[in-house]
Amino acid sequence: MVYIEAMIRWLVFLPLILGAVETKTLYNSLDPGSLTQALAFYELYPESEEGKAALQRASRLLTGSIEALSGSLARLVHRGNSSALSESEVVAIEHLAAHLPNRKLKGYLAQSEKEVLALPSEEIDLGRALLLSQLDGEEGAITTTRAYSAKLDLIALQILAKLPPNATSEQKIRATNHYIFEEMHFRFPPQSRYAKEIDLYTFLPSVMDNHLGVCLGVSNLYLAIAQRIGLPLEVVTPPGHIYVRYRDGEKITNIETTARGIDVPNERYLGVNTRKLKERTVKETIGMTHFNQASVFLHNESFEKAVKCYEKAKLYMPDDPLVKELLGYSYLFVDKVELGKQLLEEVRDMLPEEYVAKENMAADYLDGRVDKEGIRAIFMEVDETRSSILEKQRRIKEVLDRYPNFQAGWHQLAVSWLQLHRFKEATSALKQFHELNSNDPVAEYYLAILHGERRDFPSAWNYLKNAEAITHKRDFSPKALRELRRELIILCPE
């Protein structure tokens, strides 16, 4: 809480230089709707008239008792260390928050992950479920779950304190955005940090403690708060991303949690191969936290751990094709070949509604066009260094020497050349991919761009038209293809 800590440091020195008049002036400068500021002021000036007034203000904001807010509970609100809550503090917060809408959910009373899994998605208290799922089997799991749930309650109470009676959903969104991103300073972590410790920025307790989270981590926080303030939201997952949105009939308000809650147009989330946005249930959202962690283990070649996490994700999203596929590969890597093949057979010909073209790596493996070591090379982790790119490229080349018809191998080889800004070599690799599969709109799009850069406009037009034909068959006209067509018309009309 950078903002709060800075404010506290500033306030600490004021008694040395300010008298009663100045203290009163400072009190009058507090935001009347800020519980955080009121309790911070009370802790520093508990014996002053203004400090007592600040405590009374906080009591009114929380619609609770002054006694419940005094002492350590007051310090808790602005220091945010929910893991240190005592039983009496948790009970006090639960009493203050007893009227919150999430109390009507059956999942609010869940005591184990097993109970959560048995509930329909619409009855799940997301915040509590995430905590129970992460802490399953750990000593003191219920105590820790109640402590962090109480912290979520306090956040919700502070947001509600700034809202008028019968606030609209739009007002709730603005207030939540302001509190999470402006007052509490939740932020997206630097890429160099989250790439290595994505679980630290995904699971709810870590996100709450550090005020840093990837898209899934902050979206989970936002959703848990939304359930507590009566804000109905939907969960949406473009490839490799997640955000939340509010729907009012035909009007949709997107809430981009990696960019302080701004409303990003739907089309920005679509791609050449992504024609629709997939909506998720609350239960699936829980599964995605384990899916994220599994993906880190997969890329780090910690395959036993990846299997455990994918299996846990599958409990929450049993029909998800990507979970099945990645769990299938993970089974191969731990020598559970038959289990892996069974899952890969289920997805080999599957084309999800949201995509233009299907993936082909499962079919390549099942049809003998690559072995499991070749697939391992595809999942090899690459950081921002040239050496890591070259090492992955070396492994992929070795795979292609043995399996020249491995489609994903040629695609990943092209990506590595693009990362190295070697466009001629990237073009060559993509052409090899094109010979094996001319129905991938992304590859055709890249080839059109690369030939356009080389002023080979006839070829650029051919690849663009092929990409357009592929997407048209799926009733989709990607913005990227439309923009490329406009550029080619300017440079070289048909």
pLDDT attached to residue 349: 94
Q: Is the pLDDT of residue 65 over 60?
A: no
Is the Cβ–Cβ distance between 131 and 144 less than 8 Å?
yes
pLDDT at 188: 84
Are 193 and 248 in the same domain?
Answer: yes
pTM: 0.86
Q: Is residue 16 part of a domain?
A: yes
pLDDT over 60 (residue 214): yes
Report the distance separating Cα 394 and Cα 125, nearest Å.
Answer: 47
Residues 141 and 208 in one domain: no
Band of residue 210 on the pLDDT scale cut at 50, 70, 90: confident
Question: Which range has the worst mean pLDDT, 146-155, 301-310, 357-366, 438-447?
Answer: 146-155
For residues 138 and 174, membership in a common domain is answered with no
- Quote the CA–CA distance of 252 and 275 in Å, as a whole number: 18
Domain assignment present for residue 252? The answer is yes
77 vs 205, residue with greater confidence: 205
The Cα–Cα gap between 271 and 420 comes to 23
Q: Which residue has the tokens 């709810």?
A: 204
* 37 or 246: which leads in pLDDT: 246
Q: Are 185 and 65 members of one domain?
A: no
pLDDT digits (tens, 9 = 90+) for 347-364: 999 999 999 999 999 999
Q: Is residue 388 part of a domain?
A: no
- Residue 221 domain flag: yes
- Side-chain half-sphere CA neighbours of 327 within 13 A: 25
Segment 193-208 mean pLDDT: 74
List Cα–Cα distances, 330 to 60, 306, 313, 338, 347, in angstroms.
54, 7, 13, 12, 15
Residues 21 and 116 in one domain: yes
Percent pLDDT > 90 in the chain is 68
- Specify if 425 maps to a domain: no
Structural domain contains residue 103: yes
Average pLDDT, the chain: 89
Looking at residue 278, what DSSP letter applies? Answer: E
CA distance 248 to 44: 44
Give the DSSP letter of residue 272.
Answer: S
Which residue stretches of 317-440 are H helix? 321-333, 337-347, 361-366, 372-378, 386-402, 407-419, 423-436
**Statement to judge: residues 143 and 198 lie in one domain:** no
pLDDT at 193 over 60: no
C-alpha 96/C-alpha 66 separation (Å) is 11
Q: Same domain, yes or no, for 175 and 157?
A: no
- Pair 143, 215 in one domain: no
Alpha helix positions (H), 267-379: 282-299, 303-316, 321-333, 337-347, 361-366, 372-378
Where among 249, 264, 284 does a domain terminate?
284
- Sequence-distant (6+) residues with CB within 8 A of 277 are 236, 237, 238, 266, 269, 270, 354
* Lowest mean per-residue pLDDT among 50-54, 466-470, 479-483, 490-494: 50-54
Question: Is 387 domain-assigned?
Answer: no
User: Distances from the Cα of 21 to the Cαs of 26, 46, 49, in angstroms?
Assistant: 9, 16, 11
One domain for residues 77 and 176: no
Boundary-marking domain end, from 240, 264, 284: 284
Per-residue pLDDT band for 60 (boundaries 50, 70, 90) equals: confident
Six-digit token string for 97: 């928050």
Sheet holding 251-255, edge to edge: 251-255, 243-248, 234-237, 278-280
Q: How high is the pLDDT of residue 367?
A: 98
Residues 174 and 40 in one domain: no
pLDDT band, residue 20 (cuts 50/70/90): low
pLDDT, mean of residues 240-267: 95
Q: Where is pLDDT greater, at 17 or 122?
A: 122
Rounded mean pLDDT of 40-64?
75
Same domain, 148 and 224: no
Domains held by the chain: number? 3
- Quick: pLDDT tens for 449-474: 999 999 999 999 999 999 999 999 99
pLDDT for res 1: 45
Which is nearest to 105 in space by CA: 135, 72, 128? Answer: 128
Is 488 within the bounds of a domain?
A: yes
Task: Classify residue 183 by its DSSP letter.
Answer: I
Looking at the fold, whether 173 and 106 belong to one and the same domain comes out as no
- Which residues form the domain of 487? 438-494
State how far the Cα of 116 lies from the Cα of 203, in Å rounded to an integer. Answer: 17
Q: Where is the domain boundary, 239, 269, 284?
A: 284
